[in-house]
Each structure stands twice: as C-alpha cells, then as structure tokens.
Amino acid sequence: MLGSIVLMGGLGVAIGAILVVASKAFYVYEDPKVVAITEAFPGANCGGCGQPGCSANAEAVVKGEADVNSCVAAGDDVAMAIAEIMGVAITDKEPEFADLGCYYSVAESDVNYTYSGITDCRAATMLSGGMKTCRIGCLGLGTCVTACMFDALKIGDSGLPEVDQEKCTGCGACERICPKGIIKLTSTTRRIMREYTLNDCVTPCQRACPTGIDIREYVRLIKLGEYKKSLEVIKERNPFPTVISRICPATCEMGCRRLLQDESVSINHLKRFVCDQDMDADERAIPYKAPSSGKKVAVIGGGVEGLSAAFFAARLGHDATVFESTASLGGILRQAISRKRLKMDILDWDIQGVEAIGVDIKTGMKAGTDFSIWELMEQGYDAVFTATGGWDSRLTRNEANEIPLFIPGTRLLIDLLRNETRESSIRGLGKRVALVGGEANAADTVELLKESGVETITLISRAPAGKLLNEETLSGLKAQGVTVLEHSGVTKLSGTREGLDAVECMDLSTREKEVLSVDTLILASGRMPELVFYPVMEDTSEESETDTRVLTGEWEAVELIKPPEENQEMGLLSEHDVISEYNSAVAAINGGRKAAAALHHVIYGIEFQDTANLVTRHSIIQDVDALEQVSVVPRNIILMNTDPNTDHLEAFEGYSTEVATHEAGRCLRCGLLCYERSKPEDS
C-alpha cells in the first residue's frame, strides 16, 4: 500500500516537472497590447476592417499597419480606448467607399452567349470571361452585394451595383471578391494618386486627356443641369479649368468616339460653360481634401505646374507652400498668351481657387538667393519639389544670363557653353563632374572642364553603344581620361546640406545601379530637372521621448514616376522628360499632379505604383471602329466676337444654357467599347 502511494506520488511529481518544462518550451508570447486591443474590440469578427478577425486587426494596429479607429463596427469610445493603449492621438480618417467602374448592365449590352451556371460573378468569369461583349465589364450577378456585410450595396434598377455611401465602411470586401476589378475603393487620395491601368473602363476621350478627367461624368451632369457637381468632377484632376477651357488643344476631342459618325462632342466648350457659370455667380466650387497630415511640402515655382503640384498636395492633406521668384503667379501663361485668348482676370480666378484650397503663396522669393532647398528642410519642410520652368520662362523674365544655382551642384550645359554665361558657370565646379547628355558637344565641354581644373569627368549617355558617339569621338574622350557610361540614366541625387555628393546611375539594359561621387552635375537640357527632395532623418526614439526624428544634414532627390513606354524611361533626360517647357498647360497640370503624388510617396516611404499594367500611348486596348444605330447630330459651334470695339471681350463667345444642354446630349456615354445607341424617337 505504502509502495503504491509512493509510486503515485513520484509519478505525479514527474508529470508536474514535465508540464513545467513543456510550458516553458511551448510557451507562446502574447503581446499585452494586442490582448488589450482585442478585448476592447466588440468581437464581431466581421472583417470590415479588411483583416480576417479582431485579433488580426489588433496585431495590425500594434504594428502600425492599421489605424486605432480601423474597426468599423465600433464607435468613437472604442477608438479612444485603443488610442490610450497605444499612447497616440486619434487623427481624422479619410473616408473611403466603394465605387463602380462600369457604365452599362448586361441587359443594356450585347451578349456573347447565355450563361446558365451558378449565379456568381466568379463562376461566370471562369467560363470564357462571362456574358458581356466587354472583357472587363460588370457581370451584374451581385456577388459583391452578397459579400457586403453592411447592406451598403444593392443591384439597382440599371442592373448594376449601387453603393450607399452612408452605409459603406470602406472595408474592401466587394473589391476583393469582384473577379473583374470593376468595383474598387475610392477616396480623394486614391483618385489623385491613381494612374489608369489596362483593367480600367476608361473612355476614349478620358484616355486622350493629359489630366485624365472623367469627361463622361461631367458632361452627363451638364445635361442634367448639375453644373456645380460637374465642375467638382473637373477639379478632381484640373485646378485650372477656366484657363484650360480657353487655351486647351483639346486632345480629348480628337479621341471622341462620335468622330466615327459625325463630329466630336465640344468637350472643351462645355468645360468653359460650367466654369463661366461658377465664375459669373462668384460661387467657387471647392473639391474635397483629405484630413490634415501634419506634413509640410514646398514647391519652388509659381507657374501652372508648381501651383498644380501645391493644389494636389494640399488636397492630399499636406500644408503646401509655393515660392515664386517674381511678384506675380502664372508663369509663362501670364507673359506669353494673347489677352484676347486668355484674360488675366480668368487666370487670377483659377489661381485664387488654388489659394482657396489652403495653399500658401510667397512671391518675391528667389531660390538660390533668398533661400535654398536645404534651408527649407531645416525649416521643417518634409519634401521640396522644383518646378521652376525652362529656358522659355527665363527669357520672359529677362533672366537669360542669370545662372540658376538652386539645385545643389547642378548646372545647365547651355549656360556652360554660352559666351554670356560661360565665365560665371565654370566657377566652383569642383574636381568631379558628371555630364548627362550633350554628346554632340562632348569634346568642347570636356576641353572647357579640363581648363577650369576638373580632374574626373564622367559622360552619362542614354543612347546605346555606337548610336550617338562614333568610335573616333569615343576614343578621343577616353584618351582624355573621360569615363563614358552608355545607355545609362541618372535616377537619384544625394548630398549634404548645400552640396552635391553623389548621383545614382542605372544601366538601362540590365537595370543595375551604381553610385558616382561627384561635385557637380551638368545637364544638357534647357531647364532644371523636376525633382522631389527630402531630408534623410535619424530615428532617436531611444534617446528622446519627444522628437524621435532629427535631421542628419543629408538629403536625397528622386525623379517623378514615368509612364512605361516602349523605350527605357528611367533616369533624367528621357524622352518623357520636359527639357524646356511643357507643350501645353494641360500637360503641365498633369506634371503637377504627378509631383504631388511623388511628394506623398517620399513623405510616407510608399513604393511607387507598379507601371507594368499602366495605360500608355502604345497600349493595345479593346475598342470599336464603327458605330451602329447612332443618329447624325451636328456639333454646336461657338461664335467669334467680331465687333472691333470690343477689345475688352474674349475672342470667342461661350455657350448658352440651351446650347450647352443640347451639346452635352450628343455625348454617347461611352465606356471601353460600349456606347449609347440612339432611341427611335431620336432618329
């Protein structure tokens, strides 16, 4: 009996010891913050946050991948409790909601065949792409509706999903389940940052517009008499609509599908109509802007591109300031366009709209004289964009002989070779110089650099071997000690305070990068490059409880993202880069939007959008080459002001309300390949 008791006791002790060892060996650490946040959540596990459950969302909050107010099923009290756990403050969250990118339902479209399978869009897609002739059109079977957990989606009378923005939480469940990518989350930030892909239903006119305005929608709203809403759609991508409606080359009209039948819709004149309605009523339409980010950005240059960059940066939630060297804004538009074509009060009206969005303007502030890029960083600006214009702008300002020296260690070859500026431009070049482009003048440039005391010269050419430099010239350069990098481009600059230290080069064939130590960069272009500068920061969170990031004295500068064309586009002086001035103001506006997106990217360290699937001028896109059942409807023209005593009037008159409504009715409400056929009563 006693032996049994001892045996059982010993066995219990052994098992206990094993359990103790096992508990230590297999112990899983639980972050107390994750546990506390999980307990604070309502426990619905609805997935509305985009995570597979409350515990996963709690982990995302702790990692900084989700906001403290990311739970869509909880109220402000839960968000405040989670913020207290994390030791942070609650910031305003930009609203996101689902948006449908398709215009015609299955019932309104040509159908390839009848699908009789499971009522699910994913199943229909697997069977030869679904029902509709359009390869990316909405199938209308309502799978996104069943996926929505907040009753924010329904199939409307049109046969397409309709979104209730009041109920939509922006969880993205519909976006994740849609097999065609037709329904997507949208927000101010997403729309500004967005570049159109091959999977988007983008109309022909919208693809042809440099700014990518949703032309179909704003014309539709004009037809309905919703003029303010129409202008808000225009201002989504264009802060200068009143100006552009007077001077735009209207490439959108060249892409109008009505040209297959009669004449294009007068898109630009319709834009002028709603802009004039707004200006005449003195009721400025202000587009929505994201909540304040607490970040500061500076834009050097108060032309159309610079003002546009600041406008879009402000709408992204950043505090934007424009620094202009002259006393007035508008750049070359104010100096070089006929007053009959563009009155200055119209230019001023649109500029005032940029200020109304919250952009701060500082005139009479010349970069390189009154301030430097590094000084702006020291003043707390998180990023700086250079939009100073080109040689044309310098001529209009009577500054042809003034050498721009605001980008550290960067000069223009035109200043180096011109007799009027040569002596000044060769001062302070340092010992190491990189020359980008300028192959035709390479021999003369190298000789001049050698005479000025430069010891190390690198010629960086975008051309493949043997294309621009013949063997004799190449041998002569190498004999003088010049390093020649063919088929290469400069992708990044880096420096310390007011000086340039290095440039990053990419081999355009292999995509391999190397860093060159340089004192001066010389560009064979007529303008300083469009670059985004940002300071290199050091994290001092372990040393300080307040300011955790401090300036190191170093900075970097990157180029704007470029579209993926057939040629190799990376690096400065590519075919896409503007080397003098933009060919149109509307193209400069799009450059400003891209700059704002780049500023946003570098501030938050976000990867640039993958360019592999973006629409370019070489993209092969589904389209139509003929129209069926579309009645011929003549275009409404605008009349010239021919009275010689009306110098104060514009060259052309605008549309009346009646004419604008009729012209808007000519729009075919196109999609990728769909369009509205004429009704019998229209014939």
Residue linked to tokens 């519909």:
174
pLDDT band (50, 70, 90) for residue 20: low
**CA-CA distance, 542 to 353, in Å (whole number)?**
44
Predicted local distance difference test score (pLDDT) of residue 457: 93
Residue 545 has pLDDT above 60, yes or no: no
Query: Mean of the per-residue pLDDT values for the chain?
Result: 85
Q: Is 419 a residue whose pLDDT tops 90?
A: no
374's CB contacts (< 8 A; 6+ apart) are 408, 497, 498, 555
User: Among 435-449, 530-544, 550-564, which stretch is predicted with the lowest mean pLDDT?
Assistant: 530-544
In this prediction, residues 384-396 reach a mean pLDDT of: 83
Q: Is the pLDDT of residue 609 over 70?
A: no
Q: Reply yes or no on whether the pLDDT at 566 is more than 60.
A: no
In this predicted structure, what is the pLDDT of residue 395?
Answer: 76
**Cβ atoms < 10 Å from Cβ of 91:** 15
pLDDT in tens, 453-505: 899 999 999 888 777 777 888 888 888 888 999 899 999 999 999 999 999 99
For residues 410-432, average pLDDT: 84
**CA pair distance 273, 252, nearest whole angstrom:** 17
DSSP state of 255: T
Q: Are 572 and 436 in contact (CB under 8 A)?
A: yes
- Report which listed range, 119-133, 307-321, 387-401, 517-531, is most confident: 307-321
Consecutive H or E run containing 592: helix 585-604
Picking from 299, 296, 294, the residue whose alpha carbon sits closest to that of residue 373 is 299
Is 90 exceeded by the pLDDT of residue 57?
Answer: no
Segment 330-346, tens digit of pLDDT: 988 888 888 888 999 99
Q: In what order do the strands lie in the sheet with 549-559?
A: 360-362, 319-323, 296-300, 383-386, 531-539, 549-559, 488-496, 499-507, 513-517
The pLDDT assigned to 522 comes to 93
Whether 156 shows a pLDDT value over 80: the answer reads yes
Which residues are CB-neighbours of 578 under 8 A, at least 6 positions away? 390, 527, 530, 591
Both tokens of residue 415? 């200043």
Dihedral pair phi/psi, residue 45, rounded to 5°: 50, 40
- Condensed to tens digits (0 to 9), the pLDDT of residues 614-637 reads 877 777 888 889 999 999 999 998
Q: Which of 279-283, 294-298, 537-541, 602-606 has the lowest mean pLDDT?
A: 537-541
pLDDT of residue 123: 87
DSSP-based three-state secondary structure for 574: coil
pLDDT at residue 127 is higher than 70: yes
Task: For the chain, list the domains and their CATH numbers.
Answer: 31-91 (1.10.15.40)
- Alpha helices of 282-380 — where are they, by DSSP H? 304-315, 332-336, 344-356, 373-378
Share above pLDDT 90 across residues of the chain, in percent, rounded to a whole number? 44
State percent of the chain over pLDDT 70.
87
Q: Does 645 score more than 70 pLDDT?
A: no
pLDDT at 5: 61
Length of the chain equals 683
Per-residue pLDDT at 676: 92
Within 10 A of 370 (CB to CB), how many other CB atoms are there?
Answer: 12
669: which 2 tokens? 């409400």
pLDDT band at 540 (very low <50, low <70, confident <90, very high): low
CA distance 439 to 488: 13
Confidence band, pLDDT 50/70/90 cuts, at residue 58? confident
